[in-house]
Chains A and B, each alone.
Chain A
């Protein structure tokens, strides 16, 4: 085998994908050729570099939201479509026509969609979302995917599972214990879920990218260093606040003073 031929086989050799015959031929050549041995090492190391070092770009939350809207809007389900007809009344005829025509129309619709979506969301929706997500945590048989041995076990677990790093380093204390964490969703985006325990009460903290959500600017209350939007919904206390690019939503059935106490601990640690 010539060097050029061997070089083409090196990746397959390294990955164990060659036939027995080819493997033997490449092996024989490698035994005699230092250049190709070096190329094999470089090939192996390049795989490591690509896997570990090459940045992965996650789709922006706004893009995923638009795609999700479009995909459900064009879904074939009769129930969904009837709802959509109301929503896109002027386009109903186009949507009902051929798939290709619908796709073309959607291309136009997408340009106006983000503004429409933002306008249609209110802070009350965020509060409601927080309560729904908290209920899901409480109802789940396995509310945490990573059991807590402290924040230093929980936080690294999120790495690679989210496209942002949740800034939380409160690891629990005598009053509030950190039970663990999991990956959840807050509306359209991924969220880091931290589950705390206050005696028998469960407290959920959701941390997520804040962009594109209707963050309240008026009627905020000072809780420690935070300016929070405080609400009571379906018997749960909800605190919402924003810190730079990240949004925080703290939900529980504990009383407001207790929830504030935890929020202050989280803020102090962040």
Chain B
């Protein structure tokens, strides 16, 4: 590898560090990192969501790659306000475009229809069917992961976005729904999750 090429690579590395905020003093060619470079700081967060949406590592990597490609192409349209929410929205839309179309696991969402986990009235069964707190205390990682994966994508997404610390307004932006809808979707999704856990954590 030529010296110039190595120099270019080393400059890249300095930037990688700077994006991750681990404080290297060397100055960059530019003062402000581009949208794409700032987006790198969210690689782990985006991958985590992608992993739970797709259910496997290979699809998750492809989804994150495609998300970055689309983000790059749309960078000029980014309003500069909330990069994390913007990226999540692109990831989710990409998932719907690419993966839902070729859904290989039609039954992965369990026995419920697509929206059953997040829509509809909270019926009497669901009200009574909550699990006891001592059951929750004994839940292990594999059980909570399996229970989450058994939910529909919509339910999973709203739970994960909330877990990322996103506000209802941000979640509404990502999901493209009304702010008022987020609250009921989230509480219903969490109820469904507890119902699943009840079956796993006997």
Residue contact A11 to B190, C-beta cutoff 8 Å: yes
Contacts across chains A and B counted by CB atoms under 8 Å: 172
Whether A185 contacts B122 in the complex (CB less than 8 A), given A63-B61, A71-B72, comes out as no
Stretch from A48-56, A199-207, A215-223, A230-238 at the B interface: A48-56
Q: Specify which chain A residues have a CB less than 8 angstroms from the CB of B136 in the assembled complex.
A: 42, 45-46, 49
Assess whether A8 is in contact with B12, with CB atoms less than 8 Å apart. Answer: no
The distance in angstroms between the C-alpha atoms of A269 and B199, with both chains bound, is 43
**Closest chain A residue to B60 by CB distance?**
A57
The minimal Cβ–Cβ distance linking B181 to chain A, given in whole angstroms, is 11
Contacts of B61 in A (CB 8 A): 59-60, 63
A80 within 8 A of B: yes
A120 at the interface (CB under 8 A from B): yes
Instruction: Tell whether, in the assembled complex, residue A72 and residue B37 are in contact, meaning their CB atoms are under 8 Å apart.
Output: yes
Q: A115 on the interface (CB 8 Å rule)?
A: no
**Are B13 and A184 in contact, with the CB atoms below 8 A?**
no
For chain A, what secondary structure do more than half of its interface residues adopt (helix, strand, loop), or is it mixed? helix
B148 interfacial by beta-carbon distance below 8 Å: yes
Interface size class of B (residues with CB under 8 A): 35 or more
A63 & B184 in contact (Cβ 8 Å cutoff): no
Report yes or no: B133 in contact with A71, Cβ–Cβ below 8 A. no
Segment with Cβ contacts to A, from B41-49, B92-100, B107-115: B41-49
B83, CB-defined interface residue at 8 Å = no
* Residues of chain A within 8 A of B132, CB atoms compared: 38, 42
- Which residues of A25-62 are within 8 A (CB) of B? 35, 38-39, 41-43, 45-46, 49-51, 53-60
Q: Report the Cα distance A99→B75, complex, angstroms.
A: 9
B176 at the interface (CB under 8 A from A): no
Partner among A7, A42, A63, A75 whose Cβ is within 8 Å of the Cβ of B122: A7
Which residues in chain B, 47-71, are within 8 Å of chain A measured between CB atoms? 47-48, 51-52, 57, 60-61, 64-65, 68-70
* Nearest A-chain residue to B68, judged by Cβ: A67
User: Using Cβ atoms and an 8 Å threshold, which residues of chain B touch A41?
Assistant: 133
Residues of A within 8 Å of B128, CB to CB, are 35
Determine which of B30, B43, B72, B133 lies in contact with A74 in the assembled complex, contact meaning CB atoms within 8 Å: B72
B144 at the interface (CB under 8 A from A): yes
1/0 contact trace for B68-104 toward A, CB 8 Å?
1110110110000000000000000000000000000
Interface residues of B (CB under 8 A from A): 1, 4-9, 11-13, 15-17, 19-20, 22, 24, 29-30, 34, 36-37, 39-40, 43-44, 46-48, 51-52, 57, 60-61, 64-65, 68-70, 72-73, 75-76, 121-122, 127-128, 130-133, 136-137, 139-141, 144-145, 148, 159, 163, 183-184, 186-188, 190-191, 193-194, 197
**What are 20 A-B pairs at a CB distance below 8 A?**
A3-B127, A7-B191, A8-B184, A10-B187, A35-B130, A38-B133, A39-B130, A41-B133, A42-B133, A42-B194, A46-B194, A49-B136, A49-B144, A53-B141, A59-B43, A64-B40, A72-B15, A77-B29, A104-B73, A136-B24
